[in-house]
A and B are shown apart, each in its own frame.
Chain A
Amino acid sequence: MTLGGWITFLFSTVSFTSLFAWCLYKVLTTPRADESALHGTFDIDDDD
């Protein structure tokens, strides 16, 4: 593999791994919506 190949390979893999790791971190550290809001119409006016 050439130097250009290594750069392409590392840039691609590191970028997507970082994005995935950051997303996982945010998902695991952010609390989920409260139980009372299971379903039902939105508080915002979605039809206007």
Chain B
Amino acid sequence: MNAESWSSRIGVILAVSGSAVGLGNFLKFPGQVALYGGAAFMIAYVISFFALGLPISIIEFTVGRHGGANGYNSPSGILGFFCKSKKMAYFGVLGSLLTLMIFCYYVYIESWCLGYAYNFAVGTLKLDSVEASSAFFADFIGADSDGSAFGLGLDKVLVFLIFSFFLNFWMIYRGVSRGIEFFCKYAMPTLVLLAIVIVIRMMTVSGLSPDHPERTINQGLGFMWNPVKVVLQENVGNAQNPKWVDARRLVGESDMSEAKKIVAEAPTISGSPSMRIHSISVFRQLQNPSIWIAAAGQVFFSLTVGFGCIMTYASYLRRKDDIVLSSITSCSANEFCEVCLGGMITVPAAVALFGVSGVLGAGLSLFDLGFKVLPLFFLSMPLGEFFGFLFFFLLFLAAVTSSLSMLQPSMAFIEEATGLKRRFSTSLLCLITFFISGFVAYFSKDLKAMDTFDFWMGQVAVYIFAMVLVTAFSWYFGVERGMKLANYGSIIKLPHWFGFLARYITPTVLLLVFVVWIGQDILGVIGDGKLSPYIRDLVGGEDSPPNKVAWKSVAIMVMVGAFYSLIVLRSGRYSDLKSLKRRK
């Protein structure tokens, strides 16, 4: 019987919330809201939260506590026991594998945050343009050439990578209660406090761009949250068959009056205007399937549901712990950090400095916003180095609480399957991840290794794992029995309609998002018809051979997966799972 357990209920909630709250909350979410429009994105986001995120979280909690109550803590043991099948124990390997692979590149990103926090703290960051900021970023992480991240010195990422790596392993070695729970109990409240301080500072910033008085925090908030998207469009067709393409987003009075002037002065095409101001309603925006995929993806990845982390954490719960309330609390904590804190920092700050066009030009991606644009914002404001340090330290804490949750499934798996003592299992895991993280950091040119791991493990494998988990719960184990398990010890009982949601809606939405994502972004069957660059890296393109780093990355994933599968094959822990199957 397993001796490890969470020491308090708030501890497990902070740990699960910590697992969910990461860089995506503070960097990716604001960019997504701004890109897809405030109200439309939020409608799709809230629907996805209730149809996808929350149900999968409750399912993971239920399955995990059930496995833990019967002595299993790893995804292999939990799923194998839940379905009374050794085949599912093999499938559970995917949960341990994907989280381990994500850890191996996540710790690299984590070290960027720590490195930026350090450089802000000691005042060595002297950046005055996006170009300078981009150059520093590329040099710091080694994006220019393979191996260039491995320089010694505090202007390179290696030192911070080693520190972050061993901090994670120290916490994992200390165990669930004395390590993970201990760290999250301090890190999460600190993180929220830092975020509140930064939000207050942000809201009081003014006059960052004296030459452009229209660039304000208010314009940034409008860029994110205004429900009706207003765009300046150009006709690239002709008078009979006009083809309007977006020229720029318009936010605020100043943008509008400037755009009206442009439209008035624009030449005509056979008497028809060549430019126009066009408003896109919320309803119209919601007809775009991309917004639904983006919202569902954001909820799914932000909550870290369907990864195998929550089920591992839940396996250390007591058997009468309230999992419904714990699940809703940790999900709502993540949403609070994402919508109420993350949503108010990044994009408004970037717009206040560069304006809407500048931000769109610099890019709304996670790394562009976080590591190229935001440092400039902090450096341009009074006490900016202090607030820059606070912000990147906040990101570092958020990243560590997430990466700890990525290590624990593998840790639990090795301990459970091999029976090794904590010291040896930690050493084995440390050895494996040290080489893979080193591989990711060494092959840093264009972040190719990291991107390949992220695509195959952080996206494809996660979708597959989540779909099988939900199907196993709803269709194999049975929704009625599953709800009975979830309600055991809960003060909030799951309503009857949850069964319908978990049985039909959640798997359908998950499948739909996966299929559209494959069709649109991977195979290019829908949309622009282009094959995903990650597939092209493996099969080669018309003018480029297959990428060797991508192939090496895939080979590493296969090798670790095979090693884990071999452990399941040789382990006696999963041999009798089939015999537990009830007799019909």
Q: A4-B227, A16-B340 are in contact. Are A24 and B329 (CB under 8 A)?
A: yes
A5 touches B2 (CB 8 A): no
A8 touches B340 (CB 8 A): no
Chosen A-B contacts, 10 in total, with CB atoms closer than 8 Å, are: A4-B227, A5-B38, A8-B42, A8-B225, A23-B328, A23-B332, A32-B8, A37-B320, A42-B69, A42-B319
B-side contacts of A39, CB under 8 Å = 1-2, 5, 68-69, 71, 318-319
Q: Known contacts A27-B9, A44-B488; can you find 18 more A-B pairs with CB under 8 A?
A: A1-B218, A1-B219, A1-B221, A1-B222, A5-B38, A8-B39, A9-B225, A13-B339, A13-B340, A20-B335, A23-B328, A32-B8, A39-B2, A40-B319, A41-B69, A42-B69, A43-B488, A48-B582
A19 → chain B closest CB, angstroms:
4
Please provide the chain B residues from 417 to 459 with a CB less than 8 Å away from any CB of chain A in the complex: none
B-side contacts of A48, CB under 8 Å = 481, 582
Closest 3 pairs (CB-CB, A-B): A33-B320, A1-B222, A23-B329
A1 touches B225 (CB 8 A): yes
Question: B318 touches which one: A19, A24, A27, A33 (CB < 8 A)?
Answer: A33
Q: A4-B227, A4-B228, A16-B340 are in contact. Are A38 and B319 (CB under 8 A)?
A: yes
B-side contacts of A13, CB under 8 Å = 339-340, 343
Q: Does B491 contact A (CB under 8 A)?
A: yes
A-side contacts of B228, CB under 8 Å = 2, 4
B-side contacts of A47, CB under 8 Å = 582
B335 touches A27 (CB 8 A): no
Q: Nearest chain-B residue to A10 (Cβ)?
A: B225
Q: Does B102 contact A (CB under 8 A)?
A: no
B150 → chain A closest CB, angstroms:
42
Q: In whole angstroms, what is the CA distance A34 to B570 when docked?
A: 37
A12 touches B42 (CB 8 A): yes
Q: In whole angstroms, what is the CA distance A4 to B491 when docked?
A: 38
A11 → chain B closest CB, angstroms:
8
Q: Does B255 contact A (CB under 8 A)?
A: no
A9 touches B221 (CB 8 A): yes
B-side contacts of A20, CB under 8 Å = 329, 332-333, 335-336
A32 touches B70 (CB 8 A): no
B325 touches A30 (CB 8 A): yes
A-side contacts of B218, CB under 8 Å = 1
Please provide the chain B residues from 206 to 227 with a CB less than 8 Å away from any CB of chain A in the complex: 218-219, 221-222, 224-227
Please provide the chain B residues from 78 to 128 with a CB less than 8 Å away from any CB of chain A in the complex: none
Q: Does B484 contact A (CB under 8 A)?
A: yes
B-side contacts of A32, CB under 8 Å = 8-9, 318, 321
A8 → chain B closest CB, angstroms:
4
B484 touches A44 (CB 8 A): yes
Q: In whole angstroms, what is the CA distance A25 to B339 when docked?
A: 20
Instruction: Count contacts between A and B, CB distance < 8 Å.
Output: 123
Q: Nearest chain-A residue to B42 (Cβ)?
A: A12
Interface 1/0s, chain B 477-518, versus A by CB < 8 A? 000010011001101100000000000000000000000000
- Chain B interface size, as a band, is 35 or more
A21 → chain B closest CB, angstroms:
9
Q: Nearest chain-B residue to A24 (Cβ)?
A: B329
Q: Nearest chain-B residue to A6 (Cβ)?
A: B225
B318 touches A8 (CB 8 A): no
A-side contacts of B5, CB under 8 Å = 38-39
B-side contacts of A6, CB under 8 Å = 225
Q: In whole angstroms, what is the CA distance A37 to B225 when docked?
A: 47
Q: In whole angstroms, what is the CA distance A30 to B8 when docked?
A: 12
A-side contacts of B481, CB under 8 Å = 46, 48
Q: Does B13 contact A (CB under 8 A)?
A: yes
Q: In whole angstroms, what is the CA distance A26 to B332 when docked?
A: 13
Q: In whole angstroms, what is the CA distance A32 to B489 when docked?
A: 10
B484 touches A26 (CB 8 A): no
B488 touches A5 (CB 8 A): no
Q: Nearest chain-B residue to A47 (Cβ)?
A: B582
B230 → chain A closest CB, angstroms:
9
Q: A12-B42, A16-B332, A30-B322 are in contact. Are A42 and B226 (CB under 8 A)?
A: no
B-side contacts of A7, CB under 8 Å = 227
Q: A13-B340, A37-B318 are in contact. Are A2 and B489 (CB under 8 A)?
A: no
B158 → chain A closest CB, angstroms:
38
B177 → chain A closest CB, angstroms:
12
Q: Does B372 contact A (CB under 8 A)?
A: no
Q: A32-B321, A44-B484 are in contact. Are A26 and B39 (CB under 8 A)?
A: no
Q: In whole angstroms, what is the CA distance A5 to B222 when docked?
A: 6
Q: In whole angstroms, what is the CA distance A29 to B491 when docked?
A: 12
B-side contacts of A5, CB under 8 Å = 38, 221-222, 224-227
Q: In whole angstroms, what is the CA distance A3 to B140 when docked?
A: 42
B384 → chain A closest CB, angstroms:
24
B-side contacts of A41, CB under 8 Å = 69-70, 319
Interface 1/0s, chain B 39-54, versus A by CB < 8 A? 1001000000000000
Q: A5-B222, A16-B339 are in contact. Are A33 and B321 (CB under 8 A)?
A: yes
Q: In whole angstroms, what is the CA distance A1 to B224 when docked?
A: 9
Question: B485 touches which one: A34, A37, A38, A42 (CB < 8 A)?
Answer: A42
Q: In whole angstroms, what is the CA distance A5 to B492 when docked?
A: 34
Q: In whole angstroms, what is the CA distance A40 to B39 when docked?
A: 47
Q: In whole angstroms, what is the CA distance A17 to B227 when docked?
A: 21
Q: A4-B227, A5-B226 are in contact. Are A40 and B1 (CB under 8 A)?
A: yes
Q: Nearest chain-A residue to B216 (Cβ)?
A: A1
Question: A34 touches which one: B68, B70, B320 (CB < 8 A)?
Answer: B320
